[in-house]
Structures are given as C-alpha cells and as structure tokens.
Chains A and B, each alone.
Chain A
C-alpha cells in the first residue's frame, strides 16, 4: 500500500480533530482515544514486518519526487521508536483516565494529547529537515498547552520558562536550517548525506552548522549545559503529562541528534563527535548529581531523564556498530521505563499526598504491587540482567571500548551505580521504613493506576528477556545508520 507510512501520523491527528468536536462528552473521548491507541500499535507492528520483508518504506507526499518534495521515510530506527511511542502513549493514556480529573478532561486534554503524539511520531518519520522542524512545532505547541493545562500556580510559572526556552531554540533551529540550505542547497536528509559525503575536504562551515544543530537539539533533548530548563518544568504538570513529556519529548531531540550525526554530519567526525562524547559524559554526571541531591521524588526521576540522554548520545558519538545498537536499544528501553517510573511515582504521590521523600514512608505495607513493580522498574533502569537496561548498557560499553574512549565508559559505570543509589533511596525511604499513613489516612487510591504501570513494566521485562527476538530489528536499524547509502538509495531511488 502506498500510503502505509503516513498512517501512524494520520491516526492520532484524525482522532484529535474528531475529539475537538465533542469537548464535553468525556466517555466518548476516552473510548475513541483508546481505539486510536490500539489501532496505532497494530499499524506499527504491520509496518515493522513490512520493513523487515521489503526494506525501507518511503512516501513522497503529493507525488513530488525528492529532493524537491517532502518525503516520509519509515526506516527501522524510526518505526521502532514510533512503535515504542505508541505503546508508551497508550499506557499513559490509560493512566490519565483515572488521574487527570474531570476539570482538565473538559478542557481539551485528550485532543491535545493526540496532537502531541502526532508531532512526536511525525518527527520520527520525516525524511526532511524542514519538515522535522514543522513536526517539532506541532509537538511543542501541544506541549505548551499540556504543560499549562489546568493552570495551577506552579504550572504557570514553569510553563513561562518552558515556552521561552523552546521559542528561542526553535528560532535557532530555523536559522540552522537556513544556513544548511544556503551551503548545500537541499534539506532532504538523504540528499544532504549524499552531498556532504561527496565532499573532498571537510568544509569548516558545515562543522559550524553541525554544532549549531547540536545546540538546538541539545536544548530540546536536555544535553549538558542546555538542560537547565528541564527539571522544574517537567516536575510541574500532573503525573500523566510529566510521564508523556519525560518518556517522549526529550527523546525526539535525542533522535534528531542521532539522525543528523549519523547520516548527515559525517564529514568531520573527529571534531563534532568528540564534542558530543564529552558533552554526553558531562550530561551523565550532571544529571546524576541532581538526582542524588534532591529529596523530591519527581525531581529525582526528572534528573534521571537527563542521565539517559548522556548514555544514548555517548553511543551515538562512538560511531561503532555496537555503540549505535546500544544507543538504539537504550533509547527504546528508556522510553518505556521512564514512562513506567513516572507513572509509578505519580501513583505514589496520589497515595502519599506529597512528593517529598522525607514525608512518605512505608507505602509497601498497603501497596505491595506498586512497591515491587517499582523495584523491578528500578532494576531495569539500572540494568540488572536480564532486564531491559542491561543489554543496552552492555552494547554501549562495548561501543565505547571499541572506539577507545575508556574514561567515558568509566564515567558511565560510575553513573549507573549512582543512578541505582538515587532510585533505591526512593524505594527504601518511600516504600520501606516506618508506616506513616494508615489505610484510611491515604490521600487517594491506586485504583486503575497500577494497570498502565504493569503494561510498561511488562514491556520492559520483554525487552530484556526477548532481546533475541529484538536483535535483528535493532541490527537492521543500526545498519542503516552505519551505511547511509542504504538510506540514500531507498529515498532517492537511484
């Protein structure tokens, strides 16, 4: 079918539009969102199988040939991430059914949730840098609305900074795109890769543009030192929104660095990728220091988002097969597990009525399921075999050793231990210890909140145990990145 690649974008978009007509009919909104989420997953699985059998799927919008028209490229990396996105978003949707509250639901929560997913999925699937910007904006505008949705005082304060930072980075993005077009005369990623790859000597101006793009995507993806806006703004909105932000939004920035630094900007890797590697190492350290320093469970988790950014980008910077595979694997794992952890932290806050670690204790007495799921998710995050973080980290370490960056590998090991410490602290203080709250004193119930967490934890366990099944998919994705010719041939059809 010609139009298969656009279906993952169309399903949430169309759902969002239909939901706009019936803002007050909440049961119908829930049912339609659910149907849309399920069909999104099935379409994506179909798409993965299709790519395995027939290679990269492309769609030229309106029949305009690249490099002139806009092209959507469904290669394995993009589709794997889209599938993960749809899984995580479905789980968070289920969580928000029970936690977001009728007041927010009446004010277009579900439509904008769908638009946010549209933007994220579109950014993964596009094969054109300007179109990437467009989908970034779709995603960001929806996120502006969601971050301020409900209008509590904290949200209003933090959303102001969030909007400001993102508007500035969007402006830089357009400037970068303009420079790139002025220098190369194209914005199609395959065509860019071809033109830059055919350069005899590395053009210094391209290195400048590469660093400019690193700044832009680093701002969205929370790379050191550009993550300053993230902790406060992600901790402000309700748990469901924080979960979808933490699981998906930074990942789009990381994906963009991944894509541009493996297919487009490969002319002067000694310079650009070295910067990326060093920044990735500092990002890990800075993130984990924040995670240890805070006593607020939401903040601890938000800083752990930053640590993961460092891990993935280090894999990108190694430019080895193992490093790329590790980065892809860790990216998928991190989307799932961050979603799960944010949801569980949300459930904890619902029960304890506070997000301060010192004020909650002994939750496991009344909520054993939540407690042990949290423990499993923590182990998966840290990478205890056979859970999902392990394989990604193993491959990352291997990639780091292959490329001879031993000290960053050492930083990574150290960071992993400290991440473990920061998360176990939540488990020991929050779940174990003296029981503060009796059953009757609890501020809310976990009714309906555990099932979505369980889905994501199950997916995470599957990612670890089923690594054998996943391996060919990840290998295909890494192969496309290591040999840009495959991507170029598929898009430009030469």
Chain B
C-alpha cells in the first residue's frame, strides 16, 4: 500500500496532538464522570489509527515499537492488581477510596484508586484495538 496524501498527512501531524491531548483530558475526567479509561483509550487508539491511515503500518511500528498484545496483558494485570489491593486491606474486592493531595504546580487535586484501575482499562483498550487493527492491516 503506497499512498502519499499530502493534505491528510499534514493535517494528521497537527490533529494527532489535539486528539492525544484531549484523550488525556478525558482520561483524567474519570474521577467524577466515570469511564475515563475506556473512552480515553479509544480516543488514543483512534489517534494512532489515524496515523496508520495517513502514513503506513511500518512507520507506526517504528515510532511505537510495542507489542500491543503485551500492552493488553499489562493493562489487564494493572486492573486486576488494583482489585487485588483490596486483599491487603481486608475490604471487599474492587473497593475504592480517594483523598486530596497538594501538588507543586497544580495545587490541590483529588486522587482516587479508581484512577489506577482506569490506567489498566486504558492500556487494555489501546492494546486490543491496535492488535485488531494491526492484524487486519498486515493480512493482505
């Protein structure tokens, strides 16, 4: 597949960062509007898919040299690990808690254990989506 769409490629270079920044924003929104990990992950995945469409698989593999199957597994491990934390504290599985912390630049922020779980979900979504897309893309 050799396509050289200058308009798409130029636009992608700009739009990619907007999408990625917005996906990070949405990811952290998970505190009060649940599901940040899932939708943020989908958005990141769609940004990478856009990159694949504008350029090609080889280039994306060069700049993101991960095995996305391992990314999926890591995400699952993080998500289950967050649940397993409840064994240490003797509370029901997947219990969550939150507290307020003060950061140097950002000021006071709320951090929740659900965020850790969301990181896992985020990795799983990105990993699974890109595994599927790559598998289909390579199959010619």
Contacts and interface: CB of A to CB of B under 8 A. Distances in A.
B77 A62 contact: no
B69 A3 contact: no
A398 B86 CA distance: 47
B40 to A, nearest CB: 21
Contact of B96 (A18, A20, A60, A62): A62
Contacts of A18: 77
A20 B84 CA distance: 19
B77 A17 contact: yes
Contacts of B73: 17, 20-21
A69 to B, nearest CB: 9
Given A3-B87, A17-B76, A61 B93 contact: yes
A14 B73 CA distance: 10
A6 B84 CA distance: 10
Contacts of A17: 73, 76-77, 80
B80 A61 contact: no
Nearest to A14: B80
Given A13-B80, A17-B76, A62 B70 contact: no
B80 A63 contact: no
Contacts of A21: 70, 73-74
Which of B76, B86, B90, B94 has the most chain A CB atoms closer than 10 A to its own CB?
A: B94
Interface residues of A, number: 16
A435 B69 CA distance: 50
Nearest to B90: A2
A3 B80 contact: no
A199 to B, nearest CB: 32
B83 to A, nearest CB: 8
A124 to B, nearest CB: 17
B80 A60 contact: no
A364 B80 CA distance: 49
A168 interface: no
A85 to B, nearest CB: 20
B92 A2 contact: yes
Q: Is the interface of A mostly helix, strand, loop or mixed?
A: helix
B77 to A, nearest CB: 5
Which of A10, A17, A59, A61 has the most chain B CB atoms closer than 10 A to its own CB?
A: A17
By size class, the interface of chain B is 10 to 19
B95 interface: yes
Given A60-B92, A62-B92, A3 B86 contact: yes
A448 B58 CA distance: 44
A493 to B, nearest CB: 14
Given A3-B86, A20-B73, A10 B80 contact: yes
A211 to B, nearest CB: 34
Interface in B89-120: 90-96
Interface in A2-49: 2-3, 6, 10, 13-14, 17-18, 20-21, 23
Given A20-B69, A20-B73, A21-B70, A2 B91 contact: yes
A141 to B, nearest CB: 11
Interface string A45-73: 00000000000000111110000000000
A237 B93 CA distance: 36
Contact of A62 (B69, B80, B87, B93): B93
Nearest to B81: A14
Contacts of A3: 86-87, 92-93
B72 interface: yes
A63 B69 CA distance: 32
A17 B79 CA distance: 11
A63 B76 contact: no
B66 to A, nearest CB: 13
A203 to B, nearest CB: 34
Contacts of A6: 93
A59 B91 CA distance: 10
A138 to B, nearest CB: 12
Given A3-B86, A10-B84, A62-B94, 10 more contacts: A2-B92, A10-B83, A14-B80, A17-B73, A18-B77, A21-B70, A59-B93, A62-B95, A62-B96, A63-B91
Interface of B: 69-70, 72-74, 76-77, 80, 83-84, 86-87, 90-96
Q: 9 closest pairs, A vs B, by CB?
A: A20-B73, A62-B94, A17-B76, A63-B92, A6-B93, A63-B95, A61-B94, A3-B93, A62-B95
